[in-house]
Each structure stands twice: as C-alpha cells, then as structure tokens.
Homo-oligomer: A and B are copies of this chain.
Amino acid sequence: MDEVITTAHGSGGRATGELIAAVFAKAFHDEMDDAAVLSVNGSEKIAMTTDSFVVTPRFYAGGDIGRLAICGTVNDLLMRGAKPAYLTAGFILEEGTKVEELSRAVTSMAETAREAGVTVVAGDTKVVEGHGGSEPQFYINTAGVGLMNGFGDAASVSAAGARPGDAILVSGTMGDHHAAILGARLGLEGTIRSDNAPLVDMVRNLLQAGVRVHTMRDVTRGGLGTVLKELATSSKQVFRIEEEKIPVSPAVKSFAGMLGLDPLYMGNEGKMALIVDEADAELSLQILRASKYGENAARIGKVEAPVADTPEGSVILTTAIGGLRSIDVLQDEGLPRIC
C-alpha cells in the first residue's frame, strides 16, 4: 500500500480497490459496500448508499455538480433494484465560494430530485479555508435511502447474479460524461454533452414488467471495462463482449480517437450495464429503448461458464478487427475528479 493518497486512489480502478482493502475493509470487517440492503424493524427492507461529488468544472454541457449529486446516489439505489425515496445532502464550501454559484447548483439538485421522484430530507453545511489563490471549490455529499421492492421484486438482482447463457446489455452510449468533462477542461465546451441522468424510468419499467434482471450496475468511474471485470469476478463467470456492439456516439468516438482514449474506460453518469436472462433479452432491449435515456440501448455480449483457458472472472473482448483482448479493471490514474 502507498504511504500517501494520490489521485489514482480516486480513480475507481485498481488503486481505489487497494485503498478500500487496506484501510476501510480492515476497520469495518467488509461490512461496507457501494450500497447496502438493510432491515427496518424486521420486515421492511431498505437500500442505503452514499457518494461525494468533487467534479471539476462544476458546470458543464449536459449537467452540473448538483444534478450529478442527485443522479449518482439515485442510480446507486436503483442498481440494487430499490425505489429511490429519501436523500440527504452535505455541503463542504471553501471560503470565497460565490453564493450565486452555490445557489445554481442547489437549484439544479432540487430540479433533478423532482425528476427522479426523491425528496431531499436533511442537509448540513460546513465551511473550510480556500486554496489560497485558486478558485474556491465546493463539494457535495449525498446519501440515499431506497425502498426495496418499491418497483417490483428485486430479489434476483445482485452483483454476483450473472449466469452462463445470460445476455449482457448496456443502456446507451459509453463515455459521454468523461468526454464532456475532459472537453470542458480543454476548452472544447459544447461539442459533447454529459449523459448526467437519473435511471429511474428504465429500472422501474424493467422491474414492473417482471424482466429477470440478474445484475444492474451504473457505469461511472473506471468505465465499462472496470464494471464488467468486477461483475465477472463476483459472479465467477466469463463475459464475452464484442467491441463493435458497444454503442459510442460519433462525437465521443472521434474525441477519444484524437486523444488516444479507450471508450471502454471512459466514465458515464447516466448509463448502466445489465445482465438479464437470455429469454428476456429482447424484451429488455425494447423496454430500455422505450424508456427515458435508453434510446441507444444495445446487447453487447453474453455470459459463459469458465473453462480451462478462460478462468472465472475473465472478460474477453472481440475487437473490431476480430482479435481477442482480455479486459481488466482500470489500471492507471484515470481522469481525476470526473464525479
């Protein structure tokens, strides 16, 4: 384990995993998770999650830190199959933060909360010294409670739920948020919009239709490659995906090509990967495409049982030119402060 924190520990990739293992899992005996399912007085179940948001710039094409702070936590709850209900908001403000700017972000939070059907029920504000010279920053933490089975039976939804024969889908184009943030930092604002969105509509529609969803995971920091590697590992299966089937918008494709980035490791903030029973794959695609923010949903691969030369946890990508590539979690630093 490194001795000091670096930006790589915030990447959502390998270094983040090492920090969690060395510091958090040790102290909390693995009781901590991205989102947890909990009992309330025995019978009722809730899901609970938290995320902090430090994105820079705080306002960008397609979203802002306020919209992001609602979507991030709402989507985490949805991925457990819960109906998002209540959020808290904690603000850490640097001295010198413009009240007008804070107010714009808070207004955006309120609008996004209404869109997502959640209520922000409690808040807290702290002030810290500024960075001395550089523009003052502010950070937002949200925590959320969702109602299990609020949208229908979510008992089959788990990170380890993939089974041989299952279909692997994504709800839309990859890399849009990453490209929007990086574009804004490079002064290319406006060419690519972030996909910053709450996925309430598509998850509700899938669960209410009784689709056998085995796994849902929002594709954020670390990108699709990291998400699929983690899900293949936890389900102990092999994932086979086809590069040509992964939707990437022409603008993001050309942006990524120009900068030498791989869309497989570019984060989103309004997309999910899902693994469904093969018999429900076509129905799932129809539902996704008819849902808000799901018009570019696609089937990208399938789950197979591990065999000798492709052990459990393998993610094998067939490239556009027919080669095979083994996919791992994000190894490098990733883009700092993407969310």
Chain B proximity of A11: nearest CB distance (Å): 8
Q: Give the number of copies in the complex.
A: 2
How many residues of chain A are within 8 Å of chain B by beta carbon? 85
Determine whether the beta carbon of A52 is less than 8 Å from that of B141: yes
Is A103 close to B, CB under 8 A?
Answer: yes
Determine the distance from Cα of A95 to Cα of B28 in the docked complex, in whole angstroms.
23
Mask of A19-63 contacts with B, CB within 8 angstroms, 1/0: 110111011100111111010110110101111111000000000
Determine whether the beta carbon of A99 is less than 8 Å from that of B5: yes
Determine the distance from Cα of A120 to Cα of B20 in the docked complex, in whole angstroms.
14
Give residues of chain A (70-123) contacting chain B, Cβ–Cβ below 8 Å: 85-86, 88-100, 102-103, 106-107, 109-110, 113, 119-123
Please name all residues of chain B whose beta carbon is closer than 8 Å to the beta carbon of A97 when the two chains form the complex: 4-5
Q: Nearest B residue to A133 by beta-carbon distance?
A: B132
Is A152 close to B, CB under 8 A?
Answer: no
Please name all residues of chain B whose beta carbon is closer than 8 Å to the beta carbon of A266 when the two chains form the complex: none
Determine whether the beta carbon of A120 is less than 8 Å from that of B28: yes
Determine whether the beta carbon of A52 is less than 8 Å from that of B120: no
Chain B proximity of A328: nearest CB distance (Å): 20
Sample of 30 A–B contacts (CB below 8 Å):
A3-B99, A4-B98, A5-B102, A5-B136, A5-B138, A6-B127, A9-B93, A10-B93, A10-B127, A19-B99, A19-B125, A22-B103, A23-B99, A23-B102, A23-B103, A24-B106, A27-B110, A28-B123, A32-B89, A36-B121, A43-B44, A46-B46, A48-B88, A50-B88, A50-B89, A51-B90, A126-B337, A128-B337, A132-B134, A143-B143
Closest 6 A/B residue pairs (Cβ)? A10-B127, A143-B143, A50-B88, A36-B121, A141-B141, A27-B110
